[in-house]
Structure 1
């Protein structure tokens, strides 16, 4: 929490550095808030597609409907908004496992695969945005080629991970052994999550499910990019829609950095840094980022709290259970048992 608070404060200061607060007030005053229904519509599609994809990832393990996986998913994202250290992911594991008696490590494996497909989709949009967006300096084209190379490497790495899981895990273990500054618990957690991810790969063996997982991954982030573009348009920021892809990519990777729940400060800095290349005033970029973030934060948190209340999960219990899931994975106590259960 202390580290997250420091990161948030530093990012907020960097995002507003040199901005006259009167400019921010003016930017909010002239903004068009009638776009909020469009923002909420894009948000709904984003999470609906996430639920569809999660249902497909879980299908070989247990056939569930989109309506059945949605409560656990929204409780998890609510947890990321109000709990530190991305504990919402582990809360999501706990809730679905408790609801449908699925081994926790198996549920976690589907989340690991989600992240892999998310990274590939986001990198694709980021590369497209940087390469094709008009009026960007030539050096950005070089960056886009680097991103494209990263996509190729990522796809090869995912393929290797799927085919030679244990060999890849051993490779990472040997790499970590040469990085003594990394905490032992962290390296153990990463290796356990990689091993857990192998359990959820059954869905990739089905052409129907694999195709569905791929297109929903790209579609959901397209809607997230649309949300960003609507937010920019609401504040009269005249840029190419491809600029929204750049903001999407930078922001998606920026929120990986430890920060306070909800990723405040980090999102603002990502918007500011991304849009500066397109000649957008810092005050407008900052204001649009607040509008975008709050339009996502409050609906997700409220819906997540509704589902947690419906499931009888209290806030204090939710935090404790999320921490327990993380501690269990760090200790690796139930990895073997759950793997056998699969």
Structure 2
């Protein structure tokens, strides 16, 4: 229910005060010849993700990109159609079952992915806010605050890796103070945190650590380019640094509890992040729909294709993901 409320509220906020005829005109005047470029960037983005995941898994088992990609795409498809980001557990289930890798080990690599994503996205967001021309000094002040909290985040991550259980208990208490937070989402976050500390083996290798770091920054740079191309498709001529601002706001925006697919949330994030650059709201909304659908439709279709190949029925996807979460919680209780 909370996800539905958040989605509706974001969609209303994104459309508030926007002329619907101007949105229609923006779609009519858009340049859709950029679609092949968008799809190419999307392919590169997920290729880099699969390459990084292969490196994270290498200390446990050496796999090819073609072997990890199906489970990864099934997981992202799950995030598009299942509630509470259950796609993360769906990819754990698929890869663990296919290659007989312990589920907690697979989950730990997924958590490390998210940690490196956070660092990379924060860096791009800071660069966008601080260096983008035309922004007021208030935004530069905000960027300095962002730069200041990054070391704090790194220290929190270090504490999490050293004193895992204590940090998890702290977050559990914090979550209990938020009555409207879905219990399923709380369990998901806590279990991912618990598993993440177990996946640091890949970071003991200098080669793997370097590869994981550069691919983390490279993939989000590619995603920022995709946003920039979507904006240019709707005649929104802005600096590439503005795309990094949209990237950062949107990437963190989709972490809030919402309906699967993040519709409404993405549109609201585009609106608020492009306002300081003087972008017309109708064009920002139209560009967000274009970007969102180019991301959503291919990922969902590819994930459905791989789920069919692996014998995972769509009707069973949510049940398997929830069962995986329950199994992981049961394993933790045994410890």
The TM-score by the shorter chain falls in which range?
Answer: over 0.9
Indicate how the Cα distance of structure 1 residues 88 and 180 shifts in structure 2: closer, same or farther if over 3 A, else same.
Answer: closer
- Kindly state the Cα deviation for residue 319 of structure 1 after the two structures are TM-superposed: 1.6
State whether residues 165 and 195 of structure 1, in contact with CA within 8 Å, keep that contact through their aligned partners in structure 2: yes
- Kindly state the Cα deviation for residue 194 of structure 1 after the two structures are TM-superposed: 2.0
State the secondary structure of the residue aligned to 2:318: helix
Post-superposition CA distance 1:68-119 (Å, at most 9, x none): 0000000000111111111111101110011011111111111111111000
Indicate how the Cα distance of structure 1 residues 282 and 64 shifts in structure 2: closer, same or farther if over 3 A, else same.
Answer: same
Indicate how the Cα distance of structure 1 residues 180 and 20 shifts in structure 2: closer, same or farther if over 3 A, else same.
Answer: closer
State the secondary structure of the residue aligned to 1:333: helix
* Counterpart for residue 100 of structure 1: 99
- Picking from 308, 332, 335, the partner of 1:335 is 332
Aligned counterparts, 1:139-218, within 5 A: 139-169=138-168, 171-172=170-171, 176=174, 179=177, 181=179, 189-218=188-217
Indicate how the Cα distance of structure 1 residues 176 and 188 shifts in structure 2: closer, same or farther if over 3 A, else same.
Answer: farther
Q: Does 1:115 align with 2:133?
A: no
Q: Which moved more, 1:154-163 or 1:63-72?
A: 154-163
Post-superposition CA distance 1:108-157 (Å, at most 9, x none): 11111111100000000000000000000110001101111222112222
Indicate how the Cα distance of structure 1 residues 271 and 60 shifts in structure 2: closer, same or farther if over 3 A, else same.
Answer: same
Q: Does 1:65 align with 2:64?
A: yes
User: Counterparts of 1:184 and 1:259 in 2: how far apart (Å)?
Assistant: 14
Please, which runs of 5 or more residues in structure 2 have no aligned partner? Answer: none
State the secondary structure of the residue aligned to 1:157: helix
User: Counterparts of 1:74 and 1:205 in 2: how far apart (Å)?
Assistant: 27
State whether residues 43 and 224 of structure 1, in contact with CA within 8 Å, keep that contact through their aligned partners in structure 2: yes
Aligned counterparts, 1:275-294, within 5 A: 275-294=274-293
- Kindly state the Cα deviation for residue 260 of structure 1 after the two structures are TM-superposed: 1.4
* Counterpart for residue 233 of structure 2: 234
Indicate how the Cα distance of structure 1 residues 232 and 178 shifts in structure 2: closer, same or farther if over 3 A, else same.
Answer: closer
Q: Does 1:132 align with 2:139?
A: no
State whether residues 105 and 335 of structure 1, in contact with CA within 8 Å, keep that contact through their aligned partners in structure 2: no
State whether residues 8 and 263 of structure 1, in contact with CA within 8 Å, keep that contact through their aligned partners in structure 2: yes
Cα RMSD after superposing both structures: 1.9
User: Counterparts of 1:111 and 1:262 in 2: how far apart (Å)?
Assistant: 19
Q: Which moved more, 1:185-194 or 1:14-23?
A: 185-194
- Kindly state the Cα deviation for residue 168 of structure 1 after the two structures are TM-superposed: 3.6
User: Counterparts of 2:175 and 2:50 in 1: how far apart (Å)?
Assistant: 37
Please, which runs of 5 or more residues in structure 1 have no aligned partner? Answer: none
State whether residues 84 and 185 of structure 2, in contact with CA within 8 Å, keep that contact through their aligned partners in structure 1: no
TM-score, length of structure 1 as denominator length = 0.93
- Kindly state the Cα deviation for residue 271 of structure 1 after the two structures are TM-superposed: 0.2
What count of residue pairs does the alignment treat as equivalent?
334
TM-score, length of structure 2 as denominator length = 0.94
- Kindly state the Cα deviation for residue 171 of structure 1 after the two structures are TM-superposed: 4.9
- Kindly state the Cα deviation for residue 44 of structure 1 after the two structures are TM-superposed: 0.6
- Kindly state the Cα deviation for residue 160 of structure 1 after the two structures are TM-superposed: 2.9
User: Counterparts of 2:284 and 2:159 in 1: how far apart (Å)?
Assistant: 40
* Counterpart for residue 302 of structure 2: 303
User: Counterparts of 1:178 and 1:91 in 2: how far apart (Å)?
Assistant: 26
User: Counterparts of 1:177 and 1:6 in 2: how far apart (Å)?
Assistant: 19
